[in-house]
A and B are shown apart, each in its own frame.
Chain A
Amino acid sequence: MTIRLEPREDAGLGLKIGVSLAAGLAALLLVAIPVLFAGGSPLMAYGLMIQGAFGSMFAFSETLNRATPLILTGLACAVAFRAKLWNIGAEGQLYIGALAAVCVGSGLLQLPPALMIPTVMIAGFLAGGLMMVIPTVIKQRFGADEVVITLLLNFVVILFIQMLVEGPLKDPLSMGWPQSVPLIAEAKLPKLLPRLRMHWGLIVGLVAALVLWLMVRKTVLGFEIRAVGENKAAARFAGIPVDATMLKVALISGGLAGLAGVGEVAGVKGYLSSDLSPGFGYSGIVVAMLAGLSPIGTVIAALFVAAVFVGADSMSRATGISSYIADLVVALSLLCVLVGSFFLRFRVKWERQSVVA
């Protein structure tokens, strides 16, 4: 028997969905091994995870709450990666967006909520966008690698935030905790349902996904982003302003990550601290890759990753199996999806060698 690979011209939608499901299943099977090692029953562990993520209104709302920043950072990565702009700095952009929200929304301006909330969001979007525009300009001017710059900026930003929340921005009423002054009530995002943490940031994320989807398919800007991402030389020859298009992508990408920060500050915590994000920016990369850089897929992938994390926390409390299992599930899912995308590009044929003498 021999195995051969033939390139496919195009994979149908059914096949794409089938491969994604198979990849998820394969990841769950693989994670069963460490669960067994930890002395648990995989079936029970998964059952508890599902229950923890979707088992009650509270659980589901926590999953959606967790998915909200992931949708936005996932979109931030997806839109940039499509243009082959490698934004690894969503984490830092998230914090800068949150910082802008605090600067504008903690009493500097006094506006009614209908004006205050958009102002805070625009400030966060612009601040996050600027955090990505700067590395892009440096890349265009000096040829510096944006992966390195954006990645390293994450650490610079987080240390900067630490400095601020222990110094100039520190809340004098926080009893010594390193956290910033709180947002005024007018700047906070309303909750979607009473007594649950879900907030309007989720709607912002869903709308952003829809807008991006429309932009990619229907607008001139989306057309130009695709052309620049797929073949820069041809785009330049055809007269598409490559550098300007890249800067627009950078602004949108950084801006979306900044919005994620606004959501966490104005929707969940109410103040800024240096532990605002448990790596939402980095998880956004995984979300975007799981989604195959599709905006709508990003929403689904963000829900999946959020459910795994929320479910694993709950499962861990019940069984004593470490919640690091969540990281394993997410990491292996990504690997399996990458393997799956290989099978979307190639058709595998098993053939018996027929030797005619």
Chain B
Amino acid sequence: MRSTPTMTDAPVLLSLQNITKRFGALTANDGISLDLHRGKILALLGENGAGKTTLMNILFGHYVQDEGDVQVLSKGGLTALPPGSPGAALKAGIGMVHQHFTLAENLSGLANIRLGTEPLLSFGREGAARAKVQKIIAESGLDVDLDRRVADLTVGEKQRIEILKALYRDAKVLILDEPTAVLTPQEADGLFVVLRRLAANGLGVIFISHKLGEVLAVSHRILVLRGGKKAGELVTANADRRAIADLMVGKAVAAVVRTPASPGEVLFALENVSLHGAGGRSLSGVDLKLRAGEVVGLAGVSGNGQSGIAALISGLAVPTGGTMRLYGETVTRADPRALVANGVARMPEDRQHDGVVGTMSVADNIAIEEVRSAAFSKMGFLDRKAMRDRATAAIAGYDVRCQGPDAEARLLSGGNVQKLILARVLERGPRVILANQPTRGLDVGAQAEVHRRILAARDRGAAVLVISEDLDELFALADRFVVVRAGELHDAGPSEGLDRGTIGLMMAGQSHARAEMAS
């Protein structure tokens, strides 16, 4: 691949020279070099575990590199930063916006921006600080109410405060780690506008992401990392989507092909179901049928009742009104174990929080749903050998990257946790499958793998419900669409003949017929 980007006249703000970082046997960064020019947006693209975050943590002084230098432009030209000192990085004008915000929720936006830049007892400086922040806002378009408590701001607004915080400290280089992971598509578009404007004003921006589309939309140059190494560096303007995807995963990703479905009998049904629950969980008058050999895609703006439907199929709740049927029989008790024993596979929305016990081993986490069954225990004693054998098979069969069955689940990356959960639920040959946000936060390669597995289960005759905020994903998987809005479910019909616009309008509250006329 090309590795010589077009030369620019803008001075180099930041230069990483041959950075290498090892964690035990793992080489997280292997001789990576990069240059960031003034006024440019550099995208750091790579799968989960490619070494993006490690590289940025070295740059910001959280880790100390084993080899190589971080050089920053100062008065006398490029100067090496002392390794392992976030203070020095801040001083040199490097600002970082982490994926998880570091804001004091009980303070106002302005107080958060000033926090740490002034002595504890400072009177009368607020005016000057406010003026400076407002100047930055005017120049960048980072519009946000400075006087509201951070706790009351939206996620997008909190991110703006984080960026303002960095700019307030006179950052010359701004690093954003997966900034769009928490944003709605509209908020993400707003962020891109701001970033372009900041770059135009002379800032250098490093944009870390594993999403191809947004990288192409916002960056000037793309650096692709794979397995800790630089896989390629190219200019965005003449980059090809397909080629970058291949660079990222190292091999061509076969697009998942969905063959026409042949729906069979109804395996799971909600009949006029209502559910009373705290915010975003309530349902009223919901009818849903899941048929053997068919994938139903559930679309909707987050918080409109998805979690209620997921709780019902997961066995965490029973309807407060109406009937829930599994294979025709009414389900009256919230009992996940009974559902699992009856062939229901459940993938939780928040897989790190609900899917695995981080401090328990991979083997434990694969057996956890069936630990009482004869497969994994006898007379109340665990059958460790059976658990390990199952885990060993799962690790091989589902390509779970870990040290082995005894490794703690918390050491696995997000994609590998999802593979672990897939292995746990699919290996039983389930008849009903709930896939809740099955690929959220996963990279391209892992996504395709999850999709392939779900479709294979459908072809085996399973009834599948996919809940996703990613419409592309729903269109890739679903044979039929339903849309949830304000706790009510609307049938959108077969996915052939539907498009994003129609679904979007239904999500926003128009009926199917009206949406079709409008689209």
Contacts and interface: CB of A to CB of B under 8 A. Distances in A.
Interface in A198-230: 218-224, 226-227, 230
B252 to A, nearest CB: 34
B382 A223 contact: yes
Contacts, number: 86
Nearest to A214: B381
A2 B85 contact: yes
A234 interface: yes
A73 B410 CA distance: 32
B337 interface: yes
A353 B384 CA distance: 49
A252 B60 CA distance: 49
Interface in A227-281: 227, 230-231, 233-240
B302 interface: no
A240 B360 CA distance: 15
Contact of B336 (A218, A237, A349): A237
Interface in B351-375: 353-360, 364, 368-369, 371-372
11 contacts: A2-B85, A4-B84, A9-B24, A9-B411, A218-B381, A226-B364, A234-B356, A237-B336, A239-B337, A351-B84, A356-B69
Interface string B320-359: 0000000000000001110110000010100001111111
Contact of B358 (A231, A354, A355): A231
Interface string A329-357: 00000000000000000000101011111
Interface of B: 24, 64, 69, 79-80, 82-85, 314-316, 335-337, 339-340, 346, 348, 353-360, 364, 368-369, 371-372, 377, 380-382, 384, 411
Contacts of A355: 80, 82
A15 B330 CA distance: 56
Contact of A235 (B79, B357, B358): B357
B381 A220 contact: yes
Contact of A4 (B64, B359, B411): B64
Given A238-B369, A239-B369, A226 B380 contact: no
B354 A234 contact: yes
A316 B384 CA distance: 51
Contact of B82 (A226, A235, A354): A354
Contacts of A218: 381-382, 384
A230 B368 contact: no
Closest 10 CB pairs of A and B: A239-B336, A239-B337, A356-B80, A231-B357, A237-B354, A238-B368, A230-B359, A238-B369, A230-B357, A220-B377
A227 B69 contact: no
Given A239-B340, A239-B369, A233 B381 contact: no
Nearest to A6: B63
B368 A2 contact: no
Contacts of B381: 218-220
Contacts of B69: 356
B21 to A, nearest CB: 12
Contacts of B314: 237
A351 B357 contact: no
B371 A224 contact: yes
Contacts of A2: 84-85
B355 A234 contact: yes
A2 B83 CA distance: 11
A349 B63 CA distance: 12
B380 A220 contact: yes
A233 B79 CA distance: 49
A223 B85 CA distance: 42
A19 to B, nearest CB: 20
Nearest to B311: A237
Contacts of B85: 2, 353
Contacts of B360: 226-227, 230
B380 A221 contact: yes
